[in-house]
Structure formats: structure tokens, C-alpha cells
């Protein structure tokens, strides 16, 4: 809410600083925006490269919601879990392995509360990694993943709301 209020104030300030038609400046008298205000605007309306990348990855992954599960699948006709992750990340120049186990040793290990969209979540049973998903969102105590499930295909699940997923959570890795 504070972000919306701050953006509204900045927009109001910008609109208030634009001259009316009767006060229109000539082309040689261009208006300048003070550097501190320009930096604030850039921070508010321009996301960093990694934030944009994370948003793009989630947006791209979401296009495949409902795609069926296919063992060994790596294409939009049907994905397995690592095939889905690999396909989505390949769109942005990442070459990832087609194996959840092999992927689980890549990247930096992240605490659950620090997980961001685009991070990879691994699940294991008996200490053996068997599934990988992409962090979709992580607000409060609600870690959501987008993944290719063998029962539902590409879907979004809440790890904390599922006894199955929460009991098998193995680690979270950052590869971006």
C-alpha cells in the first residue's frame, strides 16, 4: 500500500511540474527533472535485471499451466519435472540438466524464508532427490511452486498446505 501511495505522490509531483498550455516552454527551454527525483522514479518503475528475469521466468512457466505430465518429457506436449524446469530456463539462456538429482547440487543453497520466484525447490524421499519445481511465490509462510506433477501436469501448489510436499522438502537452490 505504501508503494502505491509513494508512486501516486511522485506522479502527482510530476504532473504538477508540467507547465500548462499558457506557460508552455519553447523547445529551447526544456524542463529538467532533478537527479534525486529521476533516481527515485527509476527505482520505483524500473526493476533490476534479476527481478525482471525472475518475473519473466514465472510468466513463461505459467504459460504451460495444464500441460500434461509425460515421463522424460521436455517439450510443451508433455513435461516431466526436470524437463519443465529445463525448458523454462532455456528460454533465458540457462542450460540446466534434465535430472532433478543432478540439478540439486547446482547453485547456492537458500533458506526457505529467503526463496524468491525463479529459485529451484527440490524434494526427496529417503534422502534421495526425486522432484524439482520452480518457486512461484513466497509470501509469509506460503511457499508456492510451479512444477510438472505426475498427477496434475504443470500446476501451482502450496508447499506448506500440502503434507506430501512439505514432508519431502529437501532444499532450495538459486541458479539465477
Active site residues: 81, 131, 147
Query: What residues contact 145, with CB distance under 8 A and at least 6 apart?
Result: 121, 133, 134, 135, 136, 156, 157, 159, 165
Q: Tell me the C-alpha distance between 131 and 148, whole Å.
A: 9
CB atoms within 10 A of CB 87: 21
Amino acid at each position: 500500500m505504501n508503494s502505491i501511495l509513494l508512486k501516486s505522490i511522485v506522479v502527482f509531483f510530476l504532473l504538477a511540474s508540467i507547465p500548462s498550455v499558457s506557460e508552455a516552454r519553447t523547445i529551447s527551454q526544456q524542463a529538467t527533472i532533478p537527479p534525486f527525483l529521476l533516481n527515485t522514479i527509476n527505482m520505483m518503475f524500473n526493476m533490476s535485471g534479476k527481478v525482471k528475469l525472475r518475473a519473466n521466468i514465472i510468466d513463461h512457466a505459467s504459460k504451460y499451466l495444464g500441460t500434461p505430465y509425460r515421463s522424460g518429457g521436455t517439450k510443451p506436449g508433455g513435461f516431466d519435472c526436470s524437463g519443465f524446469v529445463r525448458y523454462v530456463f532455456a528460454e533465458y539462456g540457462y542450460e540446466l540438466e534434465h535430472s532433478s538429482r543432478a540439478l540439486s547440487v547446482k547453485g547456492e543453497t537458500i533458506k526457505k524464508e529467503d526463496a524468491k520466484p525463479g529459485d529451484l525447490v527440490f524434494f526427496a524421499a529417503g534422502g534421495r532427490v526425486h522432484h524439482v519445481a520452480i518457486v512461484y511465490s513466497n509470501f509469509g509462510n506460503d511457499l508456492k511452486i510451479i512444477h510438472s506433477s505426475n498427477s496434475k501436469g504443470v500446476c501451482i501448489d502450496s508447499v506448506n498446505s500440502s503434507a506430501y510436499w512439505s514432508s519431502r522438502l529437501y532444499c532450495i537452490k538459486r541458479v539465477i
